[in-house]
Structure 1
Amino acid sequence: MMKIVGVAACTAGIAHTYIAREKLMKSAQLRGHQIHCETQGTIGVEHELTAEEIKTADVVILAIDVAITGMERFKGKKVVKVDTSTLIKNPIAFIQKVEKAIEKEDISHEKNV
């Protein structure tokens, strides 16, 4: 089981942001992981990650199509970036790729899977 934190943000900050968050949350939970995921969009930050959630996370997943605020919070963490449409199309396969990368310790600090 991994502890995952994530951020979802799309260019419009509306539909894809929330769909990506939902798919990420559901697929991670189906695979037996703990996950907390915030959104950054037109109405600001929702479900904001706590410092403790970030500190104890094994990996940070950024399902983003735009630059986000607060990147400094993830300094020193394993970070995986994916665009929202890729995540939405096949979230389980994406989580499995992240699991394999973590298993092999194939993630340094920023990686596109």
Structure 2
Amino acid sequence: MKIVGVCACTVGIAHTYIAQEKLEKAAEKAGYDIHLETQGTIGTQNELTPEDIADADIAILAIDVKIKGMERFDKITKMTVPTDIAIKSPNKLMEKAAQVIKQRQNA
């Protein structure tokens, strides 16, 4: 499974990058390919390209604030969760993403 996403918290410091790290480790553990963009106080890093998004199975948006470029995800299945969910339960989030994709494929 190929995942893209954005992490962004209200302050744009700690939770943004902790969520990114937790999601990347959980995806790696599950054998998934993941590319996460961060939108923090130092700006956008690891920016997703239109091709990254088009090639993905799902987008995980671990966000506590409005993000720049939300419309990029209009044509992809997405899950939006607060950063604390990504931090506290990243493995369960990966399981849920897999379930959502499976349901979409069976629809």
Normalised by the size of structure 1, how large is the TM-score? Answer: 0.89
Listed as ranges, the gaps of 5+ residues in structure 1 are: 107-113
Structure 1 stretches of 4+ moved >3 Å: none
TM-score w.r.t. the length of structure 2 is 0.94
What are structure 2's unaligned runs of at least 5 residues?
A: none
1:16-95 maps to which residues of 2 (within 5 A)?
A: 16-95=15-94
- Aligned residue-pair number: 105
More helix by share: 2
1:37 alignment partner, SS class: strand
Post-superposition Cα deviations, 1:20-51, rounded to whole Å, max 9, x if no partner, equal: 00111110111011110010011110011112
State the identity %.
55
Secondary structure class of the residue paired with 2:104: coil
In the aligned structure 2, how far is the partner of 1:36 from the partner of 1:90?
Answer: 18
Q: Over aligned residues, Cα RMSD in angstroms?
A: 1.1
Amino acid at match of 1:25: E
Aligned equivalents of 1:57 and 1:101: distance in 2? 13
